[in-house]
Copies of this chain bind each other. A is one copy, B any other.
Amino acid sequence: MTEFINVGKRIPKSDAQEKVTGKAIYIQDLKIPGMLWGKILYSHHPHARILNIDTSEAEKLPGVKAVLTGYNIPTIKFGFYKDNTPLKSNKVCSYRDEVAAVAAIDPDIAEEAINLIKVEYELLPPVFDPEEAMKEGAPLIHEDHLGGKEKKPTNILNIPWKLVAGDVEEGRKNSDYVAENRFKVTWVTHCCMGTSGCIAQFDPRDNLTIYSNTQIPSLAQRDFTEALSAMGLQGKKVRLIKATIGGAFGSKLDTYPYEYIAILLAHRTRKPVKIIFSREEEFFATSPRQAAIIDIAQGCKKDGTLTFRDVRMVLDNGAYTSWGATTPSVMMMPISSLYKVPHVRYVAKCVYTNNTYSQAFRGYGNPQATFAIESQIDSLAEMAGIDPLDFRLRNANTPGEVTPQRFKVGTCGLRECIDAVAQRLDWRQNRGKRDGRGVGMASLIHVGGGARVYKSDGCGTIIKVDDFGTVNVITGATDMGQGADTVIAQIVAEELGVRIQDVVVTHTDTDICPWDVGAHASRTTFVAGNSAKMAAKKVKEQLLEVASRSLGEVPENLEIRDRMVFSKIDPEKKSPLGKVLRAAHYTTGGKMVMAEYFYDPPNENLDKEFKGNLSVTYAYGTHGVEVEVDKTTGQVNILKYIAAHDVGRAVNPMLLEGQVYGGAAMGIGYALMEQLVLNNGKVINPDFRDYKILTASDIPTIEAITIETDDPFGPFGAKGIGEPGLVPTAPAIANAIYDAIGVRIKDLPITPEKILAALKGKDSK
């Protein structure tokens, strides 16, 4: 592959120093003169009718500027299903339901006022199990929600998640071995170090500015614009300004009630209103990864060739609908396209319950589905008497393949990833001993070239170059800690022949930054990177054009490197870039170099059958793990962790490895310890004492292996890598545990208790 000067280099994040020295301005740090503080009163019951809300004492408290309830605000509906409101009236459907809100001159007074609000409830029977909730006669969460052919009240959402490719019955008939299992995954939450928050402010003409740490500035702007319309403020503008984002991981991919509440409070008080979540609120009032019940069957021939995959899921939708309800769109991806499988069926039901509702979370359904698929691949291989390594190699995806969901596989380094993992784990040597140590592996497919889930998958870039060669890049992309700004700067620096420190990337303000669909689907390096590269290409053409005039050489013969323009054929003809720029500028009818580009990848929305080439290219990877399991305590110790990824091209190997390390660490938590525990709908571990994530000392050494397939569509060959690091972790660990001790845990997290119970069950057989 071509060697580049800026691309491929281990360059620290452009804001690393601000972050480690405490200088970065997070939403927590932002203050606006005259600002009030908002606080929210949540429901005390999982399901209840609201009989009365008495806010009189709260209103009397000095310093309180507004008290809102669902009864004194305009009707605003939001969420994917438009079933959510900022403040609830009539009834509450979960502990997280917002019942009232206060704006006061300081947060303590707001908190005190919240405690003075008296709500009378009439309790309603709740339902917390989605399978129970599906049954006739179950308590209805939303009485007016009708479904099914008869349009009867139901808790089952009307989203027809169904993918059929080939004929699974036919596939089952042709199978020599069939595995059938039920897997369960539970709620885990993002654990962003920066809790959620916003500041809403209206100008005197009722235009809204909202400071936020959203991942979706353009779509949030649209959501809030709709809310303004609902408030009677049609045609008013929304400006969204991002603070430094202290982690997001999907949690900030949708708008939240607290944001609408801040907007309503700001409009009521005519003052800026800030709402910042406490850590407790961050745990119970943001939306976790969804709990799901997964029934899966897969079959194979004697030689291990996969014959079919048939998956049914029930997803606990909780009381309202956010992106969690749409994760099946991504679950389809591994179900249809991880390994070559001719017959595929996937049916999922999302069911309202009185639990918390769910959101996007890194991988967006993929880790859940891959846990079931890849755990079961090992079971199936065992049934067929085939080494799971050979089983995977036999079925591995290959370049040029078109999958049952009509994904067009371009570059594909899956085989290389599997091989690399096997080699690093010394697989043949270490496998199958059942001596308390074991190895396991699991693979992944993910979108790596955007994901056309919205009508546009685009990102815009504006570039201007000053008189001294400083390049300002204004991007639609969102840097939420993943290093987008740095990667975009590298791409632009590479394209233009300037230094990385000459490039300043701005991504903070919808008044300034072009449209972008958001930081999701591992799309930023690919889509925003391509957008930046193509804008830079236009800039470069202009640079060479003006240099051509200065140097008396045709643009085709000119090149720029390290801020020097030179002729490729005449070494005498050269000039510093700044000089060329100033010559072009400092003349009558002068020119300043600027350009813009809107890149929308040539991918496809899924059709009504949920088929289509969702992404321009796909990312593959395999994780391998060696574990040691203590049979007396059930404790799992990870001895070795190998993460091999087909990344197309590593634009910044250091940041890329950071994504892989972070993803694997999150995945290990998902596999072994993380769980948002709901007890009758109530989160009972809303803190880091009781919600266990890996600390630095818990994280094993993770070896990241980069397979570069130089994707022809990617910017300098790159694919997306934001999410994949998390996807195959849990099944790789589950498989290694099975290899170590012969028990298979099929519901996450794989706690010592579950291992001990399984060992006991196995011994008693």
A residues near B (Cβ < 8 Å) are 17-18, 21, 23, 25, 29, 31, 33, 203-205, 222, 225, 235, 237, 239, 452, 455-456, 458, 460, 462, 464, 466-468, 470, 472, 474, 501, 504, 506, 511-512, 514-515, 585-592, 594-596, 598, 600, 602-604
Are B464 and A514 within 8 A (Cβ)?
yes
Contacting residues, chain B, for A590 (C-beta < 8 A): 455-456, 458, 598, 600
**Please, which residues of chain B bring their CB within 8 A of the CB of A595?**
596
Beta-carbon nearest neighbor of A31 in chain B: B31
A464 touches B458 (CB 8 A): no
Tell me the complex Cα distance, A596–B239, Å: 21
A222 partner, pick from B17, B462, B467, B515, beta carbons under 8 A: B467
State in angstroms the CA–CA spacing of A588 and B504 once bound together.
Answer: 29
By a CB distance below 8 angstroms, the chain B residues around A204 are: 17-18, 21, 23
9 pairs, A vs B, C-beta closer than 8 Å: A17-B203, A18-B203, A21-B204, A23-B203, A455-B587, A456-B585, A456-B586, A467-B515, A591-B598
In the assembled complex, the Cα of A235 lies from the Cα of B515 at a distance in Å of 32
A625 to chain B, nearest CB (A): 38
B-chain residues with CB within 8 Å of residue A225 when the two chains form the complex: 468
Determine if A506 and B511 form an interchain contact, defined as CB atoms under 8 angstroms apart: yes
Q: Write out the residue numbers on chain B whose beta carbons fall within 8 Å of the beta carbon of A235.
A: 501
Tell me the bound Cα distance from A172 to B32 in angstroms: 67
* Chain B residues positioned under 8 Å from A604 (CB to CB): 588
Residue of B nearest to A29 (CB): B33
Q: What separation, in Å, do the CA atoms of A595 and B598 have in the docked complex?
A: 11
Specify which chain B residues have a CB less than 8 angstroms from the CB of A515 in the assembled complex: 466-467, 585, 592
Copies of chain A in the complex: 2
Question: CA–CA, A152 to B62, complex, Å?
Answer: 75
- Pairwise interchain contact A472-B512, C-beta atoms closer than 8 A: yes
- Contact in complex: A602, B589 (CB < 8 Å): yes
Residues of B with C-beta under 8 A to A464 = 460, 462, 514, 596
Tell me the complex Cα distance, A455–B205, Å: 40
Least CB distance from A206 to B in Å reads 10
A592 with B222, Cβ < 8 A, contacts A17-B204, A33-B25 known: no
Give the Cβ gap from A755 to chain B, nearest Cβ, in Å: 46
A594–B462 CB distance below 8 A: yes
CA distance A467 to B237 in the complex (A): 12
Docked Cα-Cα span, A31 to B32, in Å, equals 9
Closest approach, in angstroms, between the C-beta of A591 and any C-beta of chain B? 6
Closest to A506 in B: B511
Bound form: Cα–Cα A174–B188 in Å? 98
Question: Do the beta carbons of A460 and B592 come within 8 Å of each other?
Answer: yes
Other contacts beyond A460-B594, A472-B511, A588-B602: 5, CB < 8 A: A237-B504, A239-B504, A458-B590, A504-B511, A594-B598
Nearest residue (CB) in B for A33 is B29
| A220 CB to nearest chain B CB (Å) | 13
- Which residue of B29, B460, B588 is within 8 Å of A600 (Cβ)? B588
Query: Within the complex, what minimum Cβ distance (angstroms) separates A498 from chain B?
Result: 12
* C-alpha gap A464/B203 in the complex (Å): 22
CA of A602 to CA of B456, assembled, Å? 42
Question: Within the complex, what minimum Cβ distance (angstroms) separates A282 from chain B?
Answer: 22
Minimum CB–CB distance from A594 to chain B (whole Å) comes to: 4
Task: Give the docked Cα–Cα distance between A204 and B20 (Å).
Answer: 10
The 3 residue pairs across chains A and B that have the minimum distance between CB atoms: A17-B204, A455-B586, A594-B596
A540 to chain B, nearest CB (A): 16
Asked whether, in the complex, the Cβ of B512 is within 8 Å of the Cβ of A512, the reply is yes
B596 to A512, Cβ gap below 8 A?
Answer: no
Min distance, Cβ A11 to any Cβ of chain B, angstroms: 13
Chain B residues whose CB sits within 8 angstroms of the CB of A591 once the complex forms: 598, 600
Give the complex CA separation of A25 and B32 in angstroms: 10
A452 to B589, CA, bound (A): 11
Residues of B within 8 Å of A18, CB to CB, are 203-204
Q: Determine the distance from Cα of A515 to Cα of B592 in the docked complex, in whole angstroms.
A: 8
Q: Kindly state the separation between the CA atoms of A602 and B17 in the bound complex, as whole angstroms.
A: 46
Q: Which residues of B contact A602 (CB under 8 A)?
A: 588-589
Decide yes or no: A592 and B458 within 8 Å by CB, A33-B29, A237-B504 being known contacts: yes
A159 to B21 Cα, complex, angstroms: 49
A695 to B684, CA, bound (A): 67
Instruction: Report the bound CA distance from A235 to B235 in whole Å.
Output: 45
A598: chain B residues at CB < 8 Å are 590-592, 594
Cα of A512 to Cα of B600 in the assembled complex, Å:
23
Bound CA span A9–B177, Å: 80
- Of the candidates A470, A512, A603, the one having the most CB atoms from chain B within 10 angstroms of its own CB is A512
CA distance A514 to B466 in the complex (A): 8
Q: Report Cα–Cα, A470/B239, bound state, in Å.
A: 11
On chain B, the residues within 8 Å of A594 by CB distance are 460, 462, 514, 596, 598
Query: Bound complex: CA of A501 vs CA of B25, how far in Å?
Result: 31
**A603:B585 contact, CB within 8 angstroms:** no
Contacts of A474 in B (CB 8 A): 512
Chain B residue nearest to A470 (CB atoms) is B237
Residue numbers in B under 8 Å from A31 (CB-CB): 31
Docked pose: A21 CA to B203 CA in angstroms: 10
Question: Which residues of the other chain, B, contact A587 by a CB distance below 8 angstroms?
Answer: 455-456, 600
Whole-angstrom distance between the Cβ of A450 and the nearest chain B Cβ: 11
Name the CB-closest residue of B to A204: B17
A709 to B456, CA, bound (A): 48
CA distance A467 to B588 in the complex (A): 36
Compute how far the CA of A594 lies from the CA of B516 in the bound complex, rounded to whole angstroms.
14
Name the B residues within 8 Å of A600 (CB-CB).
587-591
Complex Cα distance, B597 from A592, in Å, reads 9
- Which residue of chain B is the closest to A476 with respect to CB atoms? B592
In whole Å, how far is A223's beta carbon from the nearest beta carbon of chain B? 13
Q: In whole angstroms, what is the CA distance A589 to B204 when docked? A: 39
Give Cα A361 to B596, complex, Å. 38
Of chain B, the residue at the smallest CB distance from A461 is B594
Whether B460 and A514, one on each chain, are in contact in the complex, defined by CB atoms closer than 8 angstroms, is no
A585, B222: Cα distance in complex, Å: 14
Contacts of A472 in B (CB 8 A): 511-512
B462 pairs with A462, CB closer than 8 A: yes
Residues of B within 8 A of A456 (CB): 585-587, 590
Report A613 CB to chain B, min CB distance, Å.
10
Which of A21, A237, A506 has the most CB atoms of chain B within a 10 A radius of its CB?
A237
CA distance A17 to B458 in the complex (A): 36
Smallest Cβ distance from A630 to chain B, in angstroms? 45
Q: Nearest chain B CB to A203's CB is how many angstroms away?
A: 7
Distance in angstroms from A235 CB to nearest chain B CB is 7
Q: What's the Cα separation between A468 and B228 when bound, in Å?
A: 14
Complex Cα gap A21–B33 (Å): 13
Indicate if the CB atoms of A514 and B589 lie closer than 8 Å. Answer: no
Q: Which residue from chain B places its CB closest to the CB of A590 in the assembled complex?
A: B600
| Beta-carbon nearest neighbor of A458 in chain B | B590
* Nearest Cβ on chain B to A243's Cβ, whole angstroms: 12
Q: Closest CB of chain B to A658's CB: distance in Å?
A: 19
Q: Which of A17, A203, A462 has the most CB of B within 10 A?
A: A462
